[in-house]
Amino acid sequence: GKLYSVQVNAFSAKYGTQATESVDVQITSGNIIAAIKGGIIRSVKPGETITLDASASYDEDVDVASSDSQAISDMLTGFSYEWECTQSEPALSSFCSFDVINDVALEPWKLSLAYRSQTNDNTGSFNTVSTVVLTVVDTTTGRSDRTRLNVIGVSAETAEVSISTSSPAYVNTDEKIKL
C-alpha cells in the first residue's frame, strides 16, 4: 500500500490566527480473487474432456463491472496462472488421475482434463477424485490467491444436473444464492 500525508492549514483573517493539522492515510491494495467458473465439483464421463476456466478471477482494485473489455483483458494477462492436479481418492497420489491438456501460451487461464480410460494400475479415471488447485498471481505486485475444486471420474450412466443463472458473473460468496 501507499502512505499519504494530508495537511490542512486554516487561517482566520478576522482574528489573525492560524492552525495546521495533518494526518497520515494508509491506502492498501485490494485482494486478488482466484475463481474457476462452473463450481467446486465437476464430473467427467468416459470420452469427455472438461475445460476449467479461471477467467472469472479478478483484482478487487479493478472495477470489472464498469471496465471495458480491454481493461479486463489487460488484468487477466497481468496474472500468472499456476495449475496443480493431484489424485485425492481412492488413494492420495501426486499424479492427476486425468490426462492434462493445456496450451499455456494461448490461454493460461484455462486447463483441460480428459477422462483417462486406462492407467498403469488398470483403473483409469473411473471412481477417482482429483483435486485441482489454481493459484493466481498478479505479476506486477505479487499479490495472489488460491482456489480449488474436485474433479470426479464417473461412469457413462451417471445422471447430470446443472444450474445456470442470469445473475452477474461475480457474486458475494458470503451470501446465499436463491434458487
CB-based contact 137:80 (threshold 8 Å): yes
CB-based contact 79:141 (threshold 8 Å): no
Give the mean model confidence (pLDDT) for residues 133-148: 95
Q: Is 36 exposed, middle or buried (0-12, 13-18, 19+ CB in 10 A)?
A: buried
Name the residue with cell 450412466.
157
- H-helix or E-strand containing 111? strand 110-114
Residue 41 grid cell = 465439483
Give the mean model confidence (pLDDT) for residues 95-106: 81
Paired residues of 145 in beta bridges: 136
pTM of the model: 0.71
Percent of the chain with pLDDT over 90: 43
Tell me: pLDDT of 83 over 70: yes
Higher pLDDT, 118 or 16: 16
Q: Is 67 exposed, middle or buried (0-12, 13-18, 19+ CB in 10 A)?
A: middle
